[in-house]
């Protein structure tokens, strides 16, 4: 009973921490949409989307592999950091080379310098968060890698707005600084955790070839999943207007208040399988958590439908056009909870290639739907959101069919 309560408590506190991060992100977007024009907001959304996608490439998509290496340590008094340390060295090296090339080759490289710098900082912080997950500090991991950057960004935006110097250049800067401060605090917290648990660190750097081999089974799926998540913003930025990017960005941030809580159960599943202690009670805890989260999401969707005009009104003039976009993205989050947890289950139980096939299928179907809307109808934020929803409907039907066969 005590173990069951402890397991469920991890999920509940993790969800609460993520909700705080989502609220901070939501309030930040409110300030930005009421202070900047749509083109500047579109540039900010593109910065964040590119940074998140590149950070996945830099850390080779090895999140669950990092959790497994730490969680499956042979000696509980020693923490093995061979893979994380090697990966951090790789991230720093690639980022330094990329920044140098961008500075020397690309004219007006201001935007791309911030993209690569922010990507590297996010990637390193997530590597540390995976170590915390492996040490069964999931809530601390979520707080340091997601909630704190969002909270700091909100604080800095509020200060800039008060000083009347809020512009897109300063927003790029404080986005990087927010993640840098969070990274520094993560390092300090990790040192204190080592001392508190009296853990010894084991590090033996490995070659790039071995690093690539170790993470290869996770890399493809993680990159495809990240590209799937970010491609609507990329596609709108290329084939539509800055206004449509801004509308989709606002809608996605609104829906992400629900989406942020999805991955906490995914991380919990990864940790359970990494420790090789999957019990019936643990599975029931996960199922119950998913049921309660789904009920909360459905209620949130109903509330949005009833009060969409008032909710979108907070974002400022012109964002009422995001009503349909936000509806489909919020509805997609309900289905995304089931899809993401099935993908994580595949990845951590030795079925990485099944996960990769599902993700590749999703990506191709999404691109196909985008193409259809672009050729035959009108490709905008609404059609992009409808495409995301339809892809998840198809995926959940396939997953359901697989389970019943």
pLDDT tens digits, one per residue of 334-387: 777 777 766 666 655 666 677 777 778 888 999 999 999 988 888 898 999 999
Which residues are CB-contacts of 237 (< 8 A; sequence separation ≥ 6)? 42, 46, 245
What does the pLDDT read at residue 177?
94
What does the pLDDT read at residue 268?
52
Give the tens place of pLDDT for each residue, 283-327. Answer: 555 555 556 566 666 676 677 667 777 777 777 777 778 888 888
Instruction: Say whether pLDDT at 197 is over 60.
Output: yes
Lowest mean pLDDT among 11-15, 22-26, 190-194, 321-325: 11-15
What does the pLDDT read at residue 122?
93
**Higher model confidence: residue 331 or residue 4?**
331
Percentages (nearest 5) of helix, strand, coil residues in the chain: 85, 0, 15
What does the pLDDT read at residue 277?
47
- Give how many domains the chain has, as a whole number: 1
What does the pLDDT read at residue 222?
74
Instruction: Give the domain range for residue 163.
Output: 2-404
Instruction: Say whether pLDDT at 116 is over 90.
Output: yes
Predicted model pTM: 0.78
Contact between 53 and 227 under an 8 Å Cβ cutoff? The reply is: yes
- The DSSP secondary-structure symbol of 301 reads H
Instruction: Say whether pLDDT at 4 is over 50.
Output: no
What average pLDDT does the structure give for the chain? 78
80 sits in which H/E element: strand 78-80
For residue 248, the tally of other CB atoms under 10 A from its CB is 28
What does the pLDDT read at residue 34?
86
What does the pLDDT read at residue 125?
92
Burial class (CB in 10 A: 0-12, 13-18, 19+), 374: middle
**Higher model confidence: residue 82 or residue 264?**
82
- pLDDT-based confidence at 97, cuts 50/70/90? very high
* Listed ranges 121-125, 270-274, 311-315; the one with the highest mean pLDDT: 121-125
Instruction: Say whether pLDDT at 270 is over 80.
Output: no
**In the 3-class helix/strand/coil scheme, how is 266-296 assigned residue by residue?**
HHHHHHHHHCCCCCHHHHHHHHHHHHHHHHH
CA atoms within 13 A on the CB side of 376: 7
What mean pLDDT comes out for the span 219-230?
77
Give the tens place of pLDDT for each residue, 143-164. Answer: 888 889 989 999 999 999 988 8
**CA–CA distance, 85 with 328 (Å, rounded to integer):** 41
Instruction: Say whether pLDDT at 90 is over 80.
Output: yes
What does the pLDDT read at residue 347?
58
């Amino acid at each position: 009973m005590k173990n069951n309560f402890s397991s469920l408590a991890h999920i509940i506190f993790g969800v609460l921490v993520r909700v705080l991060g989502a609220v901070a992100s939501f309030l930040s977007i409110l300030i930005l949409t009421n202070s900047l024009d749509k083109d500047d907001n579109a540039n900010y959304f593109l910065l964040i989307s590119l940074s998140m996608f590149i950070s996945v490439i830099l850390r080779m998509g090895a999140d669950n592999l990092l959790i497994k290496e730490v969680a499956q340590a042979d000696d509980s008094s020693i923490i093995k950091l061979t893979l994380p340390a090697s990966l951090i060295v790789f991230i720093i090296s690639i980022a330094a080379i990329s920044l140098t090339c961008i500075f020397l080759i690309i004219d007006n490289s201001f935007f791309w310098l911030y993209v690569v710098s922010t990507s590297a900082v996010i990637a390193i912080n997530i590597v540390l968060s995976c170590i915390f997950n492996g040490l069964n500090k999931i809530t601390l991991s979520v707080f340091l890698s997601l909630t704190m950057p969002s909270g700091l960004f909100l604080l800095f935006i509020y200060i800039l707005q008060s000083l009347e110097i809020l512009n897109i250049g300063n927003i790029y800067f404080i986005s990087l600084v927010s993640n840098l401060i969070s990274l520094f605090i993560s390092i300090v917290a990790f040192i204190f955790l080592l001392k508190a648990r009296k853990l010894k660190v084991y590090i033996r750097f490995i070659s790039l070839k071995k690093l690539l081999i170790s993470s290869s089974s996770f890399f493809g799926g993680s990159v495809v999943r990240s590209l799937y998540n970010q491609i609507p913003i990329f596609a709108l930025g290329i084939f539509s207007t800055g206004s449509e990017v801004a509308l989709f960005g606002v809608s996605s941030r609104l829906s992400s208040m629900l989406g942020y809580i999805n991955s906490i159960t995914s991380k919990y599943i990864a940790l359970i399988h990494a420790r090789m202690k999957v019990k019936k009670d643990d599975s029931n805890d996960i199922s119950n958590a998913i049921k309660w989260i789904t009920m909360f999401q459905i209620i949130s969707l109903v509330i949005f439908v009833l009060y969409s005009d008032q909710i979108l009104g907070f974002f400022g003039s012109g964002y009422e056009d995001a009503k349909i976009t936000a509806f489909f993205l919020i509805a997609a989050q309900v289905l995304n909870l089931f899809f993401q947890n099935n993908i994580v289950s595949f990845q951590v139980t030795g079925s990485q290639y099944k996960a990769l096939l599902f993700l590749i299928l999703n990506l191709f179907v999404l691109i196909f739907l985008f193409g259809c809307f672009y050729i035959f109808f009108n490709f905008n934020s609404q059609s992009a959101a409808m495409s995301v929803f339809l892809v998840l409907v198809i995926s959940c039907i396939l997953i359901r069919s697989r389970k019943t066969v």
